[in-house]
Structures are given as structure tokens and as C-alpha cells.
Amino acid sequence: MITAWLLGLLRRRAGRLSVTAAGIAAAVALLACLGSFLSTAQHSMTARAVRSVAVDWQIEVQPDTAASAVLTAVRSTPTVTAALLVNFAKSTGFVAQTGASTQTTGPAIVLGIPPNYRAQFPGAIRTLVGAEGGVLLAQQTAANLHAAPGDTVQIGRAGMAPVALTVDGVVDLPQADSLFQNVGSPLGAQPVAPPDNVAILDQAAWHRIFDPLSAARPDLVRIQIHTALDHTLPTDPGFAYTQVSATARNLEARSAGGALVGDNLGAALDAARGDAAYARVLFVFLGVPAAVLAALLTATVVAAGSERRRHDQALLRARGASPRQLITLAAAETAVTGVLGSAAGLAIAALADMAAFGSARLGADLSTTIGWASASALAGLVIAVAAVLTPVWRDLRGATISASRADVRRTRPPRWTRLGLDFAALAASGVLYWLARRSGYQIVLAPEGVPAISVSYWTFAAPALLWIGAALLVWRLADLLLGRGWPVLAGALRPVSGSLSRIIARSLSRQRAPVARGIVLITLAVAFAASTATFNATYQAQAEVDAQLTNGADVTVTEPPGAVVGPAAGERLAAIPGVRAVEPIQHRFAYIGADLQDLYGVNPVTITHVTALQDNYFRGGTAHDLLNKLAAQPDSILVSAETVKDFQLDPGDTINLRLQDARTHQLTTIGFHYVGIVAEFPTAPKDSFFVANAGYVAQHTGSDAVGSFLVDTGGHNTTAVANRLRDVVGTTATVTDITATRGSIGSSLTAVNLAGLTRIELTFGLVLATAAGGLVLTLGLAERRRSFVIAHALGATRRHLRSFVVAEAVILIACGLAAGAVLGAALSRMLVSVLTGVFDPPPTTLTIPGIYLVATALASVAAIGVVSAATVRLARRAPLTLIGEL
């Protein structure tokens, strides 16, 4: 019986089964694609964190502990692949005589490394000029000493004679911050910046020079064990962090206090695990609504044939079929549509992954591929059960045979309309959103050093309730318009339907349940497409803003500390092909009280020519207004929010800062007037800094020395221009470009293939919006073929039939698109606000993807138009032919 039933469905209901399976396939494909993104993103974050670390562990050997014993303990750790001793010594300073001048530095650090150090840790040291071994100077040190390979440098030793050495090369230390960390110290006790003066020697030379110092002043030397680990880690950064940090603590326990581990790899994974949590949040926010929408479309397809299904069931029950047999037949149909839909969805997901991510695997490895494929297919089967099997079971429990065969069924307003659940859901959504924003929550919280992260899943309630409340409210309004408001509807349809407008309005009123359901589906589909597209566009725009804030401009040339380079040097840079404009920025250090902070001197008139300054970077005025104040009142100063809070400043207060005078080399007091808050500024740190008028600073310090040059390339060929600039400045300055900065700053979400994810989301959004428009109208008109046949038989002309079809299409388009636009705007604002932790800095305004939104609206209108034209054409056929098909 089951086989006969299924064969009959395939012959007589093939179209409906196909559309049902297609709805399931859409949900399965989207869940599988987003699951693939989540898995791949987590794997990419872990791999990126691992690649970003040159030395996995820096193990500090404690005083009175034998380094050899600690080294043995380290090498016995199963995950350790390399462990080398590195010596550190504090020098009183370096002296170099070049030409007729003598340069002297302040205190310095001298490292002693073994011969195979650079082979084991290739990312720790990068050669700029000269040899890769011997006596090496850090780039900044070489600039301070005006030294180059072949020059002689004297290395000072406390209480001992200096030692003269010949420089063999100049190097860069890409990870100097971690290399010179205070191992075991809390974050607040770490040095603000790495040392300015560093020399690197081979270990034999280091021991020859500093062993005597070690005997006399052991407090000036220390030993570290630099360690490389096996990078076979879990793909999830959180699990990887837990594994690495637990191994580090185990080593410290085994060393009985003789070693402290500076866990550089754990710190990198610690930062990545918060971004992995955000990736999971994005999966829920962007994936679940689309899957639910696809399920609703599937349920709509099934519901459109509910009357015919009830008649079939009534006939079978009248001929002796038991409810159990009918449930079995419905279960067989459910299994067929669920399996076909899930299989098709997984195939679509594989193709989409191939197009978006370059791989047809639904995950980072085989296990995650199987896991996500199984979970997505299970979701497809659940949708099939909910859409196909559950209504059959409900009808069998609640309807008699005679009631099932009735053509006219009494309908009542849903109970939720009387209870006002739509208004309650919207009110609750607003209250939860307001409370969350007022409390300054963070949806993802990853406390430093804590293995577990906290995700505020309660925050999901606000957008979820907005979805539910808006859908119910649209249904209520549509039902009101089509029911009691039919006279208003008739007046609105008069331009389309003419004298038939009242008849058509009454007809739509009697069919208001399916029409209202169609309006709701179109609204939700358009809102999903609009909110997803707006979120993605805003994210991409802010990622670019973050990159420009960090780098300063398209290309930035940073002078080493202590270098005296005037603004005129920018003319040489401006002459390089591809450079549109060059803007100098001063970088000084100023004391406010006993606190030392960064100060940036800018030309407020021209700074905006090379970099973008948004209003949300400032408080107390717009960017334009505050820059104008800096220009009109040279003694004005902008202060970071942290400094304003710490020093209890009010606008107009006088701030006395102490800066070094270039003429006397002593600190001099300069008065400024606080006029506004600066929260973000190109090249500036995120906490405490000042922005002042460069001319005023130069006048009172006797120096117009530039800290960096911001170079505008118009956004074109930044890497090529940066290479040309490096050829010009050599090793005397550091050149960074925005292309390289994009891949290394801020959230590691920017390192995964968000472009591929965006294409998948926007494609599904467009498909769902189009399907909602065309499918809803198709099903509604298909169910009313009998009415069209009767009207045709009674003499209705083609114009009359077209008026009925076009009127319904106009109602769906006008109401669905209008409500979808309103809901999409509200959801976009809420999503961006709730997920503010993804953005750095938070956006001032939403970025509206106008082209995509217009394309989505046109696609929905086109789908409805095609269905309307096909229906009118079908209605022209002979009545007897159509009656035979009913």
C-alpha cells in the first residue's frame, strides 16, 4: 500500500512534492554552508594564531635554578619539538663613532643566541642589511647610532670596561613586544614598549663578554628557554588554548618553581577564542532565521494542499483505512521528501562551498564534514516531520470523516490575536534591547587566562522576539486590511481593477488567511535579505575603517624614535609614482602629572586629505568642528576618554603638559585648553593619548620633527607604492601598507573567508525573497483554479480574470515589500547594535547595500509578475480542459 501511495503521489502530486523537497533543501543547504563556514573559520583562526607566534614559549629560568635541569624538563614535555637556551644581559648603553660624530644610547639589552636559533625560530629575527650571524643590531638601534655593517660599536657593561665589536648586520625583530616581556608578570606590569636599543650576539661571544658580569652582577643577566611546540592542535581555538595553557601549567608544576612560562602561543589562542565565539554567534543570528524561513515556506507549500489532503484522507477512512495506516502513509511521504530534500541540500551546499570557499567539504576536516552534514540532514528531516507529518496527525486527532470532507470550514481568529502576543513580543523585544544596551553588556566575554568564555545567549531574545512579534503583527494588519478593511482595499485597487475592485476586494476578504500568510512570508524573506546584507556591508566597511585607523593611511612611513626628520622630507615621498598626497604627523611623549602618554601633532586643515576621520571618533563635537577648533585655537587639545576620566577634566580646562624641548633637551611645560574627546585616531593607541596642533607643539618645543608620514595612494596599488617607498627610505624608517595590515589587525574574523560567507548569505537571501513572492502567489492561485474555471464558464473575460490575478499580486508586492523594508531596517539596526563587539570601531551609521536591496525587490516583483502572467494565460484555456485537470 505504501508503494502504491507513493507512486500515486509521484504521478499526481509530483510538483507539490518537488517544491516541498526544495524548501527542505534550501534550509539544509544554508545550515550546511554556515556550518562549514563556522568549522573552517575556527580552523583558520587556530592556524592564524599559531602562525602569528615566532616563539611558542619563553621559559624564564629562575635564580638559583640550574638551567640544564629546566632544559631537561622542557625537552621531556611530549609536545615540545625544540628548546634552546637564550641569554639576556642589560648593558649600560652603546657608543658608535661614525665620521666626525659620536652617538651614545641609553640602557640596552644584549641577547646571546645559539647557532641554530634562526633555523628553529625563523620568524623571530628578519635580516635587513648585512650578514645573518655575528654581531647584529636592531633596526632602531642602528638608526640611533647611525651604524651600518662594518662599523664598530662599543657595548657598555656595568662596572666594567666596554667591549668593542664590529657590526655584521642590521635586523628587524617582528615580535619584540613578546620577546622582551617580563615573564610571569601580570599585564599591567609589562613594559609599555620594547627596548629601543638591542644587540644580538652568537652565544659564544655573549658568554665571553657577559660571564664576568654575571659573576659580579647576577641581577643584570637572565636565561630563557625558547620553545617550539607540536602544532597538532584542536581546530577550535578555545580547545587549543585549553590544551596549550594546561601543558604550560603542568611544566611549571614539574619544575617546582624553577621555571615560569611565557605562553605566547596560549596568548594568541586566547585572543582567537573570543573571535571563534563571535563566529558561532553569527551562525545563530544569520543562519537560524533563514532556516526557519525555509521551513515556513515548506510548511506553506504543504498547507496549500491541506484541503485536498483532508479529502483524500476522508475518502481512505471511509473505505476502511485506520488512522495508523494513514499516519504510516504520511510518514512515508515525510521520509521521501525529507531524504530527497536533505540530499539535494547537501549537494547544493557542497557546490556552494566549492564556489565560495574553494572546497566541497562541509568543514575543516572529515569529522566536522560528517558532523555538519548529519546535523543539517537531521534538521531537514525535522522540517519534513513538522511540515508534512504533524498536520496529518493533528487532523486525524481533531476531525471526523464528515468534517474532513466538508468544502467549507468555519475559521476563527487565532487565539494569539485575542491575547495580543504580537504586541507583547514586540514590547519584550524593545525592553530587552534597551536593558542590554543600557548595561553596556558584551555578548561575548573572554576573560584573559580563563579557559571558558561567556556568551550572553540571553541577548538573542531581543532579535528573536522582534522576528516573532513583527511576523504576528504583519499577519494581524493584513488580516484587518483584507477583512474589515475591504472597502479601503477596494478603493486602493480601483486603479488596477476598475469597476471590479469591490468584487475583488470581497473575494480577497474571503481568502484572507492564505493571502495574509503570503504577505507575512514575503515580509520575513525581504527582512532577512535586507538585514543580512546590511550587516555584511557594515562589517566590511568597518573592517576597512579599522585597517586605516591602525595603519594610519594607505601607506605609512614611520620614523624611528629619536630621529629628527622635518616635514620637508615628505616632498621626496610625494614625488614617488602612485602617491597622491603625503601628510606629516608628529609623535611625541608628554607627561600629564606623573603619567606619560602619546601626543600626536597634526595639521588640522590637511589631515583629512590622506585619512578618513569619522564623527564617532570624537565626543563633544563632530570631526569637522573639533578640527576647526584646533586650527582656530592653536592651544586647543583633544584628549582620550580614559585620560578625561582619570584626571576629571571638563571642557575648557587648562592642561599643563611637559614635553622635551629640542633646544635644551629638558622637559618644558606647555599649556593647552581641553576642547573635546578623541576616542580613535590614526596610528594612535586605544587607551591614553592627545591630539594637538602641530604648529603650536613645534613652536613651544623648538622642533617640527615628524613621527610618521601618512601617504595617500587613492586606494590603488598600495603594496607597489609601499615597495617603492622602502627603496627610498631604506632601513632608516619602517614602511607599512594597509593591504598587509588588513590581515593582521583586530578581530581574526577578518582573516577567514567572509567574502565567501557573504556571497552565500546574500544568494540565499535573494533566493528566499524571490521564492516567497513567486511561490506564495503560485500556491494561492493554484488552489483557486476552481474559482477561475467557474468564472470563465460564466462568461468572465480575460480582462476580468487578469484583474483578479493582478490585484492579488499588487497586494502581495505592496504589503510584503513595505513591511519587509520596515522590519529589515529595524533588524539591521538591532543586529549591528547587539553584535557591536564584532566591529572595531563601532559604526556611526549603517552601510546600506542599495544595489543588492533593489535587486532583491526587483527579483521578488519579477517572480510574482511571471506567476501572474502564467496564471492569466492558463485561465484562457477551455473550461472543460481545466475541469478535467481539477
Residue range 238-287, pLDDT digits in tens? 889 999 999 999 999 988 888 999 999 998 888 788 777 777 777 777 77
Q: Give the torsion sign (CA, 527, 528, 534, 535).
A: positive
Mean pLDDT for 204-221 is 92
Query: Band of the pLDDT at 883, cuts 50, 70, 90?
Result: very low
Percentage of the chain surpassing pLDDT 90? 25
Asked whether residue 881 carries a pLDDT value surpassing 50, the answer given is: no
Per the omega criterion (within 30 degrees of 0), is the bond before 841 cis?
yes
Distance CA 677, CA 651 (A): 9
Question: Mean pLDDT lowest for which of 154-168, 339-353, 432-446, 525-539?
Answer: 432-446
Let me know how long the chain is: 886
- Residue 501 confidence (pLDDT): 80
**Euclidean distance between CA atoms 259 and 257, whole angstroms:** 6
Q: What percent of the chain has pLDDT over 70?
A: 82
- Indicate whether 447 pLDDT > 60: no
Most confident of 80-94, 561-575, 594-608: 80-94
C-alpha cell at 48: 592564524
Give me the pLDDT at residue 356, please: 62
Residue 729 has pLDDT above 90, yes or no: no
Beta-sheet pairing, 636-639 with 708-712: unpaired
Between 885 and 680, the higher pLDDT residue: 680
Contact status, residue 875 vs residue 790, Cβ threshold 8 Å: no
Q: Which residue has the higher pLDDT, 781 or 824?
A: 824
Q: Residue 693 pairs with which residues in a beta bridge?
A: 602
Round to whole Å and give the CA distance between 469 and 457.
19
| pLDDT tier at 298, thresholds 50, 70, 90 | confident
Dump pLDDT digits (tens) for 456-498: 667 778 888 998 999 999 999 988 888 888 888 888 888 877 7
Q: What is the pLDDT of residue 183?
A: 83
pLDDT of 612 > 70? The answer is yes
Residues 525 and 775: beta-carbon distance below 8 Å: no
Of 127-141, 635-649, 824-838, which range is least confident?
824-838
Q: What is the pLDDT of residue 353?
A: 73
Rounded mean pLDDT, 96-119: 88
The whole-number pLDDT of residue 80 equals 93
pLDDT at 767 over 90: no
Q: What is the DSSP letter of 539?
A: H
Q: Is 650 exposed, middle or buried (0-12, 13-18, 19+ CB in 10 A)?
A: exposed
pLDDT value at residue 833: 82
Q: Using one digit for the tens of pLDDT, what is the confidence trace for 175-209? A: 888 888 888 766 555 565 678 899 999 999 999 99
- Are 309 and 326 a contacting pair, CB within 8 Å? no
Q: What is the pLDDT of residue 311?
A: 65
Nine-digit cell at 405?
Answer: 470532507
Edge-to-edge strands of the sheet including 259-263? 126-130, 169-172, 136-138, 198-202, 108-113, 80-91, 221-229, 57-61, 259-263
pLDDT at 408: 46
Provide the residue type at 503 as one letter.
I
Least confident of 132-146, 242-256, 443-457: 443-457
State residue 191's pLDDT score: 60
Give mean pLDDT, residues 754-783.
Answer: 70
Predicted pLDDT at 113: 94
**pLDDT tens figures, 26-67:** 888 888 887 777 777 778 788 888 888 999 999 999 988 888
pLDDT of residue 840: 66
Residue 601 has pLDDT above 90, yes or no: yes
Distance between CA atoms of residues 780 and 304, nearest Å: 7
Q: Mean pLDDT lowest for which of 441-450, 703-712, 813-822?
A: 441-450
| H/E run at residue 710 | strand 708-712
Give residue 382's pLDDT band: very low, low, confident or very high (50, 70, 90).
Answer: confident
Sign of CA dihedral 761, 767, 773, 776: negative
Lowest mean per-residue pLDDT among 230-244, 509-523, 573-587, 652-666? 509-523
State the average pLDDT for the chain: 81
0.75 surpassed by pTM: no
User: Using CA atoms, how far apart are residues 291 and 525, in angstroms rounded to an integer?
Assistant: 11
C-alpha to C-alpha distance for 880 and 105, rounded to whole angstroms: 102
Separation between Cα atoms, residue 259 and residue 254, nearest integer Å: 9
Task: Specify the pLDDT at position 180.
Answer: 87
Q: How many CA atoms lie within 13 A of 485 on its CB side?
A: 12
